[in-house]
């Protein structure tokens, strides 16, 4: 970018509409827009999904069953085979070493339309066997014959992602290669650098023009890696910059109130606690109180493993707000959890006479009207509830602190609706999900983070076992003995969103079976999210009172539920749970003075699932478990779809590029600290690029 422009050099404005580019008319423009490519820059950032070169191609003669291969060859023949089971298209391809069959059951007519005998193709897939080796529905790319002949030299050929709509206008992988050829052959093209030059130099990143050339037409592997590294950094840097901007923005929002002092409640409650706070709890309370005292809004995440004692931390902070005449709202993701918080907070808050109220969906109208009135008047001081709290009719008198429990279950919108009910209230988000550092840097990168990294000392210890179906009889015998001795038991069934109906059915059937056949002599009860509030309350009450020995439930007990007398937890179909989820479930037992045992029943054993369960077996460190879960399942599984959108980056990978996330974050925050509004001349381009290319990500960020 600092080069002197020669007469031939032609500086391209990245914001130019893509339709101005030679070879792209309105038709292609529309198709490109369907995948979000509107400007010249968007097009240049349409990176290859993978590359083909000599080292990644397997000669057909070396193809073996079970291998993941890419073969390159000539189409020899196409034939529709009418099989008794299912008709299919058979394509025979050949290279210098042999021939291989490829098969399409679906989409055969399209393949037939674009494949012609004599075409050169690259095909990738897993090698299967059916009357010979074959590839079924391989990933395919048609090559130019010129490309094919140069593959045997050191050439690297980019393969581009495409869609049906793009293919219709000739922009399949080959079409993209042709298009990019045209662009890169055009004169000496130059693209404006969008990374601050100081940064680019310091980190020795490839400059944008060269990196674009190399990522589309790599001269060799090393340069390709250099180009990829540059774009990964660029992407992560801008995301972190966005988070930094957001964070600074929140920091500058003034609250509409301030606290002259902590008031009396804090002391009153603290002195009557039935236990001493852990050092971590004390530290975190100070961190939060410091935020509350500040003029700017608090936006803090409190992370603490199951049982680390977040509730009392929240209550002590809430008591400060309440002593100062303000209201506090606590929002929980389920009614069961809200009810539990409600009971706990009444108990803990009693010494200070705090007026706690519960607002959930299924309350009788009379009661509800009364509570709403108390919230409006301000006589209700600490209001616990579910998303019922965000309904329009709920009006607070002076909401100063919003506590949101179990964060990732709420959408951004729900959260901001609650926050909007106060006058820029402080926000404390609590989560028991140990979030891997890399993820939290991105998902919660705009928040201040407090961590409860110390569990209150416990007398009991919990052990974990994996069993299979054959061992169930022994497990049941064990349970019977425990219950007869006065202990209580959870039996948990998975409830996975996609198959919720069937899962619920399975849980109910499991319950019936256990009750009739296995434990006809014991007291069992069923608990699931589909039950009405009073019914559920009744079950929880009976279980907490000890009248019910075995509680069969779906994952509704996952969070928050606290009964110290439970010593055994059986997790059915454990292979279907996420590790973090099991970890949280397991945290529900051994909460008293007795030892606990967590029995994971593995019904469908696969190598992958067994490996995952082994991790749970080996460690109780929530952070390690979540990190492993993230690596094994990927970010998409790890979090809900919303966050997935944010984590689905173009080129960087939050798991693989963990270290890069770290340095991008560091640099982004440093840059913004030095120039909070990106007003310096050398940052103007950065600012513009941030706004025009990354604002959409704001929707995924965890704040207001």
Judge residue 111's burial from the number of C-beta atoms within 10 Å of its C-beta, 0-12 exposed, 13-18 middle, 19 or more buried.
Answer: middle
# chain residues binding Mg ion, by CB under 5 A: 1
Does 158 bind ligand ADP (CB under 6 A)? Our answer is no
Does 587 bind Mg ion (CB under 5 A)? Our answer is no
- Binding mask 410-439 toward ligand ADP (x if CB under 6 A, else -) reads ----------------------x-------
Query: Taking contact as CB under 5 A, which single stretch among the options 455-463, 550-558, 559-567, 686-694 is the one that binds Mg ion?
Result: 559-567
Nearest to ligand ADP of 208, 315 (CB atom): 315
What Rg do the C-alpha atoms of the chain give, in angstroms?
30
Residue nearest to ligand ADP (CB): 309
Q: Which does 635 bind (CB under 5 to 8 A by kind): Mg ion, ligand ADP, none?
A: none
β-sheet bridge partners, residue 426: 401
Contact 136, 31 (CB under 8 A): no
Query: Taking contact as CB under 5 A, which single stretch among the options 142-150, 266-274, 418-426, 556-564 is the one that binds Mg ion?
Result: 556-564
Question: How far apart are CB 681 and ligand ADP at their closest, in Å?
Answer: 49
Site for ligand ADP in 450-509 (CB under 6 A): 456
Q: Are strands 88-95 and 98-104 parallel, antiparallel or unpaired?
A: antiparallel
Does 304 bind ligand ADP (CB under 6 A)? Our answer is yes
Alpha-carbon distance 300 to 315, whole Å? 15
Judge residue 91's burial from the number of C-beta atoms within 10 Å of its C-beta, 0-12 exposed, 13-18 middle, 19 or more buried.
Answer: buried
# chain residues binding ligand ADP, by CB under 6 A: 15
Nearest to ligand ADP of 306, 647 (CB atom): 306
Question: How far apart are CB 277 and ligand ADP at their closest, in Å?
Answer: 5
Tell me which of 110, 275, 486, 636 binds ligand ADP, using CB under 6 A. 275
Tell me which of 73, 422, 560, 596 binds Mg ion, using CB under 5 A. 560
What are the tokens at 584? 């949280």
Tell me which of 203, 277, 449, 685 binds ligand ADP, using CB under 6 A. 277
Residues with Cβ within 8 Å of residue 382, at least 6 apart in sequence: 315, 318, 322, 327, 328, 330, 345, 349, 354, 355, 356, 357
Question: How far apart are CB 638 and ligand ADP at their closest, in Å?
Answer: 20
Query: Taking contact as CB under 5 A, which single stretch among the options 253-261, 381-389, 546-554, 557-565 is the one that binds Mg ion?
Result: 557-565
Question: How far apart are CB 281 and ligand ADP at their closest, in Å?
Answer: 6
Q: Which does 456 bind (CB under 5 to 8 A by kind): ligand ADP, Mg ion, none?
A: ligand ADP
Residue with tokens 């497990």: 475
- One DSSP character per residue, 642-700 reads HHHHHH--SS--TTTTHHHHHHHHHHHHHHHHHSTT--SGGGHHHHHHHHHHHGGGGGG
Question: How far apart are CB 384 and ligand ADP at their closest, in Å?
Answer: 13
111-119 long-range contacts (CB < 8 A, ≥24 apart) are: 111/140, 112/78, 112/80, 114/142, 114/167, 114/172, 115/75, 115/78, 115/91, 115/140, 115/142, 116/75, 117/75, 117/76, 117/77, 117/78, 118/74, 118/75, 119/74, 119/75, 119/143
Question: How far apart are CB 271 and ligand ADP at their closest, in Å?
Answer: 14
Tell me which of 309, 434, 445, 590 binds ligand ADP, using CB under 6 A. 309
Does 562 bind ligand ADP (CB under 6 A)? Our answer is yes
Residues making contact with Mg ion (CB under 5 A): 560
Residues making contact with ligand ADP (CB under 6 A): 275, 277-278, 281, 304, 306-312, 432, 456, 562
């Amino acid at each position: 970018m600092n080069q002197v422009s020669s007469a031939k050099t032609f500086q391209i404005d990245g914001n130019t509409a893509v339709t101005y580019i030679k070879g792209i008319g309105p038709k292609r423009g529309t198709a490109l827009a369907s995948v979000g490519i509107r400007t010249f820059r968007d097009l240049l950032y349409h990176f290859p999904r993978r590359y083909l070169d000599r080292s990644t191609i397997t000669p057909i003669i070396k193809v073996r069953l079970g291998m993941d291969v890419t073969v390159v060859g000539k189409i020899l023949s196409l034939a529709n085979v009418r099989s008794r089971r299912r008709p299919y298209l058979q394509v025979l391809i050949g290279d210098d070493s042999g021939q291989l069959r490829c098969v399409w059951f679906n989409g055969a007519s399209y393949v037939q339309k674009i494949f012609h005998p004599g075409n050169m193709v690259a095909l990738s897939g897993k090698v299967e066997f059916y009357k010979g080796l074959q590839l079924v529905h391989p990933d395919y790319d048609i090559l130019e014959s010129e490309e094919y002949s140069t593959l045997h030299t050191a050439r690297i050929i980019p393969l581009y992602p495409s869609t049906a709509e793009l293919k219709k206008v000739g922009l399949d992988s080959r079409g993209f290669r042709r298009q990019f050829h045209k662009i890169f052959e055009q004169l000496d093209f130059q693209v404006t650098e969008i990374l601050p030059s100081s940064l680019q130099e310091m980190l020795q990143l490839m400059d944008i023009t060269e990196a674009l050339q190399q990522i589309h037409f790599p001269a060799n592997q090393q340069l390709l890696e250099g180009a990829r590294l540059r774009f990964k950094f660029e992407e992560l840097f801008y995301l972190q910059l966005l988070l930094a901007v957001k964070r600074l923005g929140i920091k500058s929002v003034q609250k509409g109130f301030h606290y002259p002092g902590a008031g009396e409640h804090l002391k009153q409650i603290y002195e009557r606690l039935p236990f001493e706070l852990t050092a971590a709890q004390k530290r975190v309370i100070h961190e939060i109180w410091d935020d509350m005292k500040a003029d700017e809004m608090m936006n803090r995440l409190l992370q603490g493993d199951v049982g680390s004692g977040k509730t009392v931390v929240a209550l002590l902070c809430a008591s400060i707000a309440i002593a100062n005449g303000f209201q506090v709202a606590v929002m929980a993701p389920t009614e069961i959890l809200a009810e539990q918080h409600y009971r706990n907070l009444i108990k803990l808050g009693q010494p200070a006479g705090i007026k706690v109220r519960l607002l959930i969906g299924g309350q009788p109208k009379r009661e509800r009207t009364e509570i709403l009135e108390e919230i409006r008047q301000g006589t209700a001081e600490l209001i616990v509830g579910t998303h019922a709290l965000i309904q329009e009719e709920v009006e607070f008198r002076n909401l100063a602190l919003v506590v949101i429990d179990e964060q990732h279950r709420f959408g951004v919108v729900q959260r901001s609706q609650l926050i909007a009910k106060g006058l820029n209230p402080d926000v404390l988000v609590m989560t028991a999900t140990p979030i891997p550092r890399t993820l939290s840097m991105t998902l919660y990168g705009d928040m201040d983070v407090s961590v409860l990294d110390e569990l209150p000392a416990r007398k009991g210890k919990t052990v974990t076992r994996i069993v299979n179906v054959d061992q169930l009889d022994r497990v049941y015998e064990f349970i019977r003995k425990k219950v007869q001795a006065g202990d209580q038991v959870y039996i948990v069934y998975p409830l996975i969103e996609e198959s919720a109906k069937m899962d619920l059915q399975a849980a109910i059937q499991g319950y019936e079976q256990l009750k009739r056949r296995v434990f006809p002599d014991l007291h069992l009860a069923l608990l699931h999210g589909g039950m009405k509030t009073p019914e559920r309350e009744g079950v929880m009450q009976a279980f907490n009172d000890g009248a019910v020995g075995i509680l069969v439930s779906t994952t509704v007990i996952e969070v928050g539920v606290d009964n110290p007398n439970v010593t055994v937890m059986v997790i059915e179909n454990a292979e279907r749970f996420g590790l973090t989820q099991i970890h949280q479930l397991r945290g529900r037992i051994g909460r008293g003075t007795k030892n606990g045992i967590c029995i994971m029943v593995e019904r469908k054993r696969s190598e992958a699932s067994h490996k995952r369960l082994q991790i749970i077996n080996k460690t109780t460190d929530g952070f390690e478990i979540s990190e492993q879960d993230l690596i094994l399942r990927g970010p998409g599984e790890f979090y809900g779809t919303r966050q997935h959108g944010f984590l689905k980056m173009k080129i960087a990978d939050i798991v693989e590029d963990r270290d890069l996330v770290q340095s991008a974050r560091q640099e982004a925050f440093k840059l913004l600290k030095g120039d909070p509004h990106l007003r310096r001349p050398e940052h103007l381009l950065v600012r513009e690029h941030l706004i025009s290319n990354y604002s959409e990500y704001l929707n995924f960020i965890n704040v207001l």
